[in-house]
């Protein structure tokens, strides 16, 4: 079976962009791939975190992995910091990565722009991400569009290591959806939906209650026309809502356009809210039924399984590098 690895940061609230762009693919892959899904808490430390909140958010995200339908009998779910090999391999990879390469990462440029104090961790973050992936000899990495550049860097680092030290790493491939890999903000559809956006109305979180979901959708920015059609250049807001409707119902976009032909934005928004509320209700019910002790036990077992694989890779890497 081919290996799959992906991670999500336990920062802020997990939103439907994370779900549609990445996490929903995890569930689809679990039956015919050997999967490792990680709560990447070390990545979260690249910007300041409240320690208590970080700990809670880590458990919450692990519970959400289970609530969306990941089965711990089929996949390995674990916390990054529980497996020390991630940080250790990250250091080794930093030593074969060039300053210029990391300087070109657009996410770093965006996240550091205008900030007075930027951590070195934010700069070297792509090496930690490369370590996460390469430790598991990963073939496929299901992620959203924003991670494409980091994946390209991971591939370059893996190839460079293999060239210098002999065949070691599998060179991973990104798995990025053709449709839905970049869910846009509800309040500014020229930006991606993001946890770190200050405006909470920009996103719908997986644990938002029905009335809040409806409010957020009704407030979503559209345009001054009235036609419901997919046109990312002229109608980004409506296109984003159509995309959400299509992804949540698994109807294709033309079908959705036809369904709403001649109707107003109000109708589209009302029906979209209904669909999202219905889909998230299932996840929210599953989430409510999970006990903290159960989630912790899944993470404990996951760390053991992950560590066995990761330590094996790390040992080989260290030997090849002369350590």
User: Which residues are documented as binding site for ATP?
Assistant: 9-11, 17-18, 144-146, 183, 192-196
In this structure, how many other beta carbons lie within 10 angstroms of the beta carbon of residue 290?
16
Residue 98 to residues 40, 135, 236, Cα–Cα distance (Å): 23, 20, 37
Supply 200's token pair: 């909470």
Nearest CA to 14 out of 93, 72, 67, 85 is that of 67
Q: Of the listed 57, 192, 216, 269, which one is catalytic?
A: 192
* Residue of 3, 155, 192, 269 that binds ligand ADP (CB under 6 A): 192
Binding partner selected for residue 196 from ligand ADP, Na ion, none, CB under the kind-specific 5 to 8 Å limit: ligand ADP
Q: Which residues are annotated as a binding site?
A: 9-11, 17-18, 132, 144-146, 183, 192-196
Q: Which residue is nearest to ligand ADP (CB)?
A: 21
Strands 75-79 and 34-39: parallel
Strands 3-8 and 75-79: unpaired
Q: C-beta of 112: minimal distance to Na ion in Å?
A: 15
Name which of 203 and 235 has its Cβ closer to Na ion: 203
3-class SS letters over 188-255: CCCCECCCCCCCHHHCCECCCCHHHHHHHHHHCCCCCCCCCCCECCCEHHHHHHHHHHHHHHCCCHHH
Q: Of the listed 2, 73, 178, 195, which one is catalytic?
A: 195
b/e for 222-245, b at 16 or more Cβ within 10 A? beeeeebbeeeeebbbbbbbbbbb
Of the candidate spans 122-130, 139-147, 280-288, 312-320, the one that interacts with ligand ADP by CB under 6 A turns out to be 139-147
* Residue of 4, 21, 236, 256 that binds ligand ADP (CB under 6 A): 21
219 noted as active-site residue: no
Segment 206 to 245, residues that bind ligand ADP, using CB under 6 A: none
191 noted as active-site residue: no
Name which of 15 and 82 has its Cβ closer to ligand ADP: 15
Q: For binding to Na ion (CB under 5 A), which residues are involved?
A: 146
Q: For binding to ligand ADP (CB under 6 A), which residues are involved?
A: 8-9, 17-18, 21-22, 143-144, 146-147, 181-183, 192-196
- Catalytic residue set: 111, 192, 195
């Amino acid at each position: 079976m081919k290996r799959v690895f992906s991670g999500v940061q336990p920062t802020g609230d997990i939103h439907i962009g994370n779900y549609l762009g990445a996490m929903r693919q995890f569930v689809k892959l679990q039956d015919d791939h050997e999967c490792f899904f990680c709560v990447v808490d070390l990545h979260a430390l690249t910007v300041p975190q409240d320690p208590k909140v970080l700990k809670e958010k880590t458990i919450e995200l692990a519970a959400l992995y289970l609530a969306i339908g990941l089965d711990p009998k089929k996949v390995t779910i674990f916390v990054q910091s529980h497996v020390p090999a991630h940080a250790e391999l990250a250091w080794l990879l930093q030593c074969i990565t060039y300053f210029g390469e990391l300087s070109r990462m657009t996410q770093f440029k965006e996240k550091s722009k205008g900030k007075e104090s930027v951590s070195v961790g934010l700069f070297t973050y792509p090496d930690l991400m490369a370590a996460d992936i390469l430790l598991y000899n990963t073939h496929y990495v299901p992620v959203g569009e924003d991670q494409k550049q980091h994946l390209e860097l991971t591939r370059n680092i893996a190839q460079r290591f293999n060239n210098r030290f002999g065949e070691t790493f599998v060179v991973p491939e990104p798995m990025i959806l053709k449709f839905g890999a970049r869910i846009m903000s509800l309040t500014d559809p020229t930006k991606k939906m993001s946890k770190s956006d200050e405006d909470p109305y920009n996103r719908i979180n997986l644990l938002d209650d029905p009335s809040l979901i409806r409010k957020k959708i009704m407030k979503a920015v559209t345009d001054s026309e009235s036609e419901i059609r997919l046109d990312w250049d002229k109608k980004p807001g409506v296109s984003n809502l159509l995309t959400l409707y299509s992804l949540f119902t698994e109807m294709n976009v033309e079908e959705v356009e036809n369904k709403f032909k001649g109707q107003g934005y109000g109708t589209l928004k009302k029906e979209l809210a209904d669909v999202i509320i219905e889909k998230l209700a299932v996840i929210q019910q599953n989430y409510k039924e999970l006990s903290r002790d159960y989630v912790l036990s899944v993470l404990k077992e996951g760390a053991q399984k992950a560590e066995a694989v990761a330590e094996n890779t790390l040992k080989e890497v260290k030997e090849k590098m002369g350590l």
